[in-house]
A and B are shown apart, each in its own frame.
Chain A
């Protein structure tokens, strides 16, 4: 089964009408992955055995006609722990790690009878924007296999864009769902911080990380978020806010909504064609009845610096647990305990992870804490205030999701400074915990360009409403990559 021209609805109909059983669908999905993923490398692990077992159980129970996800194959980013199934975070450190429990988001997707078909490639520990920092493989962009799929959820994005699955989960600490969604011409949502439990998400920056859905269209995205959202006693930062039906307002249109265009997101460093596409999207919204207003988020330019101080600090603390003792890689050469720590970590982590750990350790160290960590945490407050002010005036903010379309594999991986600056348009949301979605908004030389819609805290429903109005009015989401010379 290739999903390039499908949606949850179209597949659900086939399952309900018994044109396909869950087992047949799963087998066809696995067969397609075998063919397509040879060129794309989205998956670190394909869970054939587990998938066929869950599909069989679903067939025995029967497809639930009321549940769009019943029997649906899905992929999971490999930093979501899955009981008994290898979970690597794309790190040599966890190459053979088999969790004893599953992440809450994973349990919730299993509870609505989805079928996990595999674990997707990513930047090691979600640190990076191109998936080139994986210890295992280079994922290719389905639109041009010489280009990166973005990251860190590049495997999930490429799997969806190449039609291997209809839906995948990613995680987003500074843009890791939205930027690859943009590079791959799909829909990716980073929900409000606290909307989805982080229990079982391998921690990177705990006050930033959030799990979210990556899909081929807006409605499917809302359906998957419905399944994974909600408070969880295992994650005490998960919110007690009521979870609405995120798909309820999809067809309400944008008449009466005010959409803000922040000048800071359309300035230097943003590709001219990308800027043109975002302004054209604003024009589309105007024609659909929305009010477009220019706004300013003046502290945006400090976002990257503050973000890298804070997330590297959190990462340096979170990654202390990898000590070569209880689980994970242990250096075979170590003769004493100190060497065991140092050698296991030095051999087990890749360069980008080491850079972040060192930056974080530096920012938190005696004598530097006030100038770096505390200062960045204060700038975070100022950035939050910018958004609070803006949302007094607008319902949704429209920006590019990334300054450029997908770039060539190898072009930037050795230049961390450039890589970090690429995150300027996505990190501010994670600083403030706001929800944001990236969706197809146009093409630049045949490569997809995404737009980002930012909403008020816990107001994912208005983002989906705004996104769906654009999707219905345009056909960017219907354009398909050419895979191996065929569709």
Chain B
């Protein structure tokens, strides 16, 4: 089953999703994802020629509303959920790691 997806592919997909997979977990994820992708491939036997895809089952289409801002006045409570703040702003680390050569 594991030929459905290689360990390199798993690493690549993880990086696209901003995840990292440890060397220890790599064989485990590779095998499991391979099995599940094998299951996905069973859809290949269904004839879907000319069938329109369904991406939503809501009965509401193109609902419009006035574009009016609704200020909840909850800045402090929102910021309280941020991992790090300073002077009413959310604090993040430097975008470019200055310790690296780039």
Q: Which residues of A contact B (CB under 8 A)?
A: 84, 96-98, 100-101, 193-194, 207, 233, 236-241, 299, 302, 304-306, 308-309, 316, 320, 323-330, 334-337, 339-343, 345-346, 349, 351, 354-355, 357-359, 361-363, 365, 371-372, 374-382, 384, 416-417, 420, 431-433, 457
- Say whether chain A's binding surface is mostly helix, strand, loop, or mixed: helix
**Extra inter-chain contacts (10) besides given A239-B58, A340-B92, A416-B32, CB under 8 Å:** A194-B59, A207-B58, A306-B43, A326-B81, A336-B97, A354-B29, A361-B16, A362-B5, A376-B43, A380-B54
- Tell me whether A361 and B51 are in contact (CB under 8 A): no
* Chain B residues with CB below 8 A from A349, complex form: 19
Among B35-92, those with CB < 8 Å from A are 35-37, 39-40, 42-44, 46, 48, 51-60, 63, 65, 72, 74, 77-78, 80-84, 90, 92
Q: B13 contacts A377, CB within 8 Å? A: no
Q: How far is the CB of B40 from chain A (nearest CB, A)?
A: 5
Partner of B92, one of A325, A355, A379: A325
Residues of A within 8 A of B53 (CB): 374, 377-378, 380-381
CB–CB A308/B81 < 8 A: no
Q: Which residue of B lies closest to A457 (CB)?
A: B59
Closest 6 CB pairs of A and B: A377-B53, A433-B57, A330-B83, A336-B97, A327-B81, A378-B48
**Sampled A-B contacts (27; CB under 8 Å):** A98-B81, A100-B72, A100-B78, A194-B57, A194-B60, A236-B60, A240-B60, A241-B59, A308-B40, A325-B90, A336-B93, A342-B20, A343-B20, A345-B17, A355-B33, A358-B19, A359-B37, A361-B17, A362-B9, A362-B37, A372-B43, A378-B51, A381-B54, A384-B57, A417-B39, A420-B36, A420-B39
A365 engages B13 (CB within 8 Å): yes
Q: Which of A233, A302, A330 contacts B84 (CB 8 A)?
A: A330
Which of B19, B48, B54, B74 contacts A346 (CB under 8 A)?
B19
Do A302 and B46 have beta carbons less than 8 Å apart? yes
Residues in A whose Cβ lies below 8 Å from that of B82: 325-327
Binary A-proximity of B1-35 (CB < 8 A = 1, otherwise 0): 00001000110011111111100010001001101
CB-based contact B80/A98 at 8 Å: yes
Q: Given the complex of chains A and B, what is the CA–CA distance between A375 and B74 in angstroms? A: 43
* 8 Å CB contact of B17 from A233, A316, A327, A339: A316
B32 adjacent to A417 (CB under 8 Å): yes
Minimal Cβ-Cβ distance residue in B for A384: B54
- Give bound CA distance, A340 to B93, whole Å: 8
Quote the shortest CB–CB distance from B44 to chain A (angstroms): 8
User: How many Å from the CB of A417 to the closest CB on chain B?
Assistant: 5
Smallest CB separation, A412 vs chain B (Å): 13
Chain B facing A: main interface SS? loop
Judging by beta carbons under 8 Å apart, are B58 and A336 in contact? no
Measured CB to CB, the nearest residue on chain B to A376 is: B43
Q: A365-B16, A417-B39, A420-B39 are in contact. Are A237 and B95 (CB under 8 A)?
A: no
Cβ of B92: which chain A residues have Cβ within 8 Å of it? 325, 337, 340
Q: Is the CB of A98 within 8 A of B77?
A: yes
Whether A416 pairs with B36 at a CB distance below 8 angstroms is yes
- Max chain A Cβ within 10 angstroms of own Cβ: one of B15, B29, B59, B95: B59
Report the minimal beta-carbon distance from B35 to chain A, rounded to whole angstroms.
5
B74 engages A100 (CB within 8 Å) = yes
